[in-house]
Amino acid sequence: MTEKNVWFVTGASRGMGVDIAKAALAAGHAVVATGRDTQPVARALGDAEHLLVARLDVTRPEDAEAAVAAAVQRFGRIDVLVNNAGTFYAGFFEELPPEDFRAQVETNLFGPVNVTRAVLPAMRARRSGLVVTISSMAGIAGQSFASAYAAAKFGVEGWMESLAPEVAPFGIRTMLVEPGFFRTDLLTEQSTKYPEPSIDDYAENTRATVDAWKSMNGQQGGDPAKLADALVQLAGRREPPARFAAGTDALHAFETKAKALLTQADADRSLSSSLWPCAIRWA
C-alpha cells in the first residue's frame, strides 16, 4: 500500500465508525465516511479536506454501488474498506420475533456482503486493497441472549475466511476484527433492540438480562479510540493479520474456544476416526 490511502468506512455517524474515520484522517489518509443519514456523519467528523460523506444504507445494494461510485469519482480508488455498520438484536431465541432475527442477519451479515461486493471490482482493477470487517467475540463463541447477533457474526467469520483465498491472487487482503466489550454505541437505544418478555419460562431472566445489559452501557472496559488507532496501524502492515482479537476479553474468548474445540475433538476421537478409517496426513 502507498503511504496515503483511501478509506471507506460504513456506520460512521456514531460509535466506533466515527473513531475509525477520525483515526484514519489523523494519520493523513483520505476517508469516505458513510451512514444512512449523512447529517450525523458530517456533524461527527466536521470539515476536512480529504473527507467525503456519503449516504449508505448497507442493506441496500444500490446504495452501496452509488457510494462506491462517488468515492472512486472523488479519490480515484478505495484502498481500505471497513465494514463497521451494525446493530444488536438481543434476546432469548424463542422470544425473538422471526422478523427481528432476519433483520439482524440482514444488517450484520448481508450489509457487509453488499458493500464488499460493490467495492471489490475497484480493488481488483488496481490489484490492491484491504477488506476489514468488524466481527465480534460473538463470532468466535456464542452466548445466551445473543443468538441472532452470533448467527450473523458467525456468518461473517465464515464468509470472510472463505473470501480471503478467492481475492488474494488479485492483491486483496482481508482482516477480521473481533472486539470485546468497548465503550461504543452498540448497547444504546439507537443500536440495540430488546424483546418484550413473552414466554413465562424466560420472562424473569429476560427482564434481569435486559437490565444488566443496559447498566453495562458506557461502562465497558475497551477504549474505541485506541482500537481505531490499532486498526490504522494494522492496515499499514504489508501483511495484516487474518484475525485481530481486540481486547483482553477477546483474547480470552479466542483461547477458551480453541481449547474447547481441541477437547471436543479428543472426546470421541476413536469414534470419529472409525467413520473414515483411511489415514490422512494434514499439511
153: annotated active-site residue = yes
Candidate list 89, 149, 194, 202, residue with the active-site label = 149
Structural domain including 140 reads 6-262
Within a domain: 99: yes
pLDDT digit string, tens, across residues 243-273: 999 988 999 999 999 999 999 999 999 999 8
128: annotated active-site residue = no
Within a domain: 271: no
* d(C-alpha 160, C-alpha 163), whole Å: 5
User: What does the DSSP assignment read for 127-189?
Assistant: T-EEEEEE--GGGTS--TTBHHHHHHHHHHHHHHHHHHHHHGGGTEEEEEEEE-SBSSSTTST
Name the percent of the chain lying above pLDDT 90: 73
The DSSP secondary-structure symbol of 94 reads: G
- Provide the CATH number for the domain around residue 82: 3.40.50.720
pLDDT digit string, tens, across residues 53-107: 999 999 999 999 999 999 999 999 999 999 999 988 989 999 999 999 999 999 9
Within a domain: 272: no
Within a domain: 283: no
Within a domain: 168: yes
Q: Report the number of distinct structural domains present in the chain.
A: 1
Cβ count near 250 (within 10 Å): 23
Candidate list 13, 153, 194, 202, residue with the active-site label = 153
* d(C-alpha 87, C-alpha 172), whole Å: 27
Its pTM stands at: 0.91
* d(C-alpha 50, C-alpha 29), whole Å: 7
Within a domain: 53: yes
Candidate list 135, 136, 147, 194, residue with the active-site label = 135
Average pLDDT over residues 207-225: 72
pLDDT digit string, tens, across residues 163-178: 999 999 999 999 999 9
Within a domain: 113: yes
pLDDT digit string, tens, across residues 116-175: 999 999 999 999 999 999 999 999 999 999 999 999 999 999 999 999 999 999 999 999
Q: Is the pLDDT of residue 188 over 60?
A: no
4: annotated active-site residue = no
Within a domain: 1: no
